[in-house]
Amino acid sequence: MAKERTIYVCSECGSETPNWAGKCPACGSWNTLKELKITAGRTKNRQVSSSDPEIRPKRIADLSLAEELRFMTGIPELDRVLGGGAVNGSLNLIGGAPGIGKSTLLLQMCGAVASNSVVLYITGEESERQIRLRADRLHVSGDQLYVFAETDLDRIVTAIETVSPDIVIIDSIQTASDNSVQSTPGSMTQIRECTMRIMRLTKEKGLTVFLIGHITKDGTIAGPKILEHMVDCVLYFEGEQDTSFRILRAVKNRYGSTNEIGVFEMEANGLRCVDNPSEMLLSGRPEHASGTCVTCVMEGTRPILAEIQALVTANPRNNASRRSNGIDYNRSAMLLAVLEKRGGLPVANCDTYINVVGGLYLEEPAADLATMLSLASSYLDRPVGDDLAAIGEIGLSGELRQVSALNQRLSEIARLGFKRCMIPAGGRERAEQIPGLQLIPVKNVRQAISVVLGKGERQVEKSPHQV
Tell me how far apart the alpha carbons of residues 204 and 308 are, in angstroms, rounded to a whole number: 49
Any contact of residue 129 with ligand TYD (CB under 6 A)? no
Q: Which residues inside 278-337 make contact with ligand TYD, applying CB under 6 A?
A: none
In angstroms, the Cα distances linking 200 to 162, 164, 189, 193, 206 are 17, 15, 17, 11, 10
At closest approach, how far in Å is the CB of 296 from ligand TYD? 30
| Chain Cα centroid distance, residue 308 | 19
In angstroms, the Cα distances linking 253 to 95, 237, 283, 309 are 14, 15, 32, 33
Interface pattern 137-156 for ligand TYD (x via CB under 6 A): xx------------------
Give the residue, chosen from 73, 92, 103, 177, that forms a contact with Mg ion under the rule CB under 5 A: 103
Positive or negative: CA dihedral 196, 197, 200, 201: negative
Any contact of residue 174 with ligand TYD (CB under 6 A)? no
- Give the alpha-carbon dihedral of 288, 387, 464, 329, to 10 degrees: 110
Any contact of residue 211 with ligand TYD (CB under 6 A)? no
Any contact of residue 219 with ligand TYD (CB under 6 A)? no
Tell me how far apart the alpha carbons of residues 163 and 248 are, in angstroms, rounded to a whole number: 30
C-beta nearest to Mg ion: residue: 103
**Which listed range, 96-104, 111-119, 227-235, 282-290, lies at the site for Mg ion (CB under 5 A)?**
96-104
At closest approach, how far in Å is the CB of 223 from Mg ion? 19
Give the residue, chosen from 266, 314, 416, 439, that forms a contact with ligand TYD under the rule CB under 6 A: 266
Instruction: Please answer whether residues 461 and 467 qualify as being in contact, where contact means their C-beta atoms are separated by less than 8 angstroms.
Output: no
Nearer to ligand TYD, 123 or 332 (CB): 123
Pick what 96 binds: ligand TYD, Mg ion, none; C-beta below 5 to 8 Å, kind-dependent. Answer: ligand TYD
Nearer to Mg ion, 94 or 384 (CB): 94
Residue 405 DSSP code: S
The DSSP element (H or E) to which 373 belongs, if any, is: helix 368-380
Backbone angles phi and psi of 163, in degrees to 5 = -85, -25
Give the residue, chosen from 268, 317, 318, 319, that forms a contact with ligand TYD under the rule CB under 6 A: 268
Q: How many residues bind Mg ion (CB under 5 A)?
A: 1
Pick what 99 binds: ligand TYD, Mg ion, none; C-beta below 5 to 8 Å, kind-dependent. Answer: ligand TYD
Q: Which of 238, 235, 187, 241 is nearest to 212 (CA)?
A: 235
172: cis peptide before it, omega within 30°?
Answer: yes
Nearer to ligand TYD, 112 or 434 (CB): 112
At closest approach, how far in Å is the CB of 150 from ligand TYD? 17
Print the SS3 string covering 322-343. Answer: EEEECECHHHHHHHHHHHHHCC
Nearer to ligand TYD, 38 or 97 (CB): 97
At closest approach, how far in Å is the CB of 121 from ligand TYD? 12
Any contact of residue 309 with Mg ion (CB under 5 A)? no
| DSSP letters spanning 219-268 | SSBSSHHHHHHHSSEEEEEE--TTSSEEEEEEEEETTS-S--EEEEEEET
Tally of CA atoms within 13 A in the half-sphere of 355 that contains its CB: 11
Give the residue, chosen from 104, 190, 292, 324, that forms a contact with ligand TYD under the rule CB under 6 A: 104
Any contact of residue 249 with ligand TYD (CB under 6 A)? no
At closest approach, how far in Å is the CB of 98 from ligand TYD? 5
Nearer to ligand TYD, 138 or 298 (CB): 138
Pairing of strands 33-40, 3-10: antiparallel
Nearer to ligand TYD, 244 or 411 (CB): 244
Residue numbers of the site for ligand TYD (CB under 6 A)? Answer: 96, 98-104, 134, 137-138, 266, 268-270
What does the binding site for Mg ion look like in residue numbers (CB under 5 A)? 103
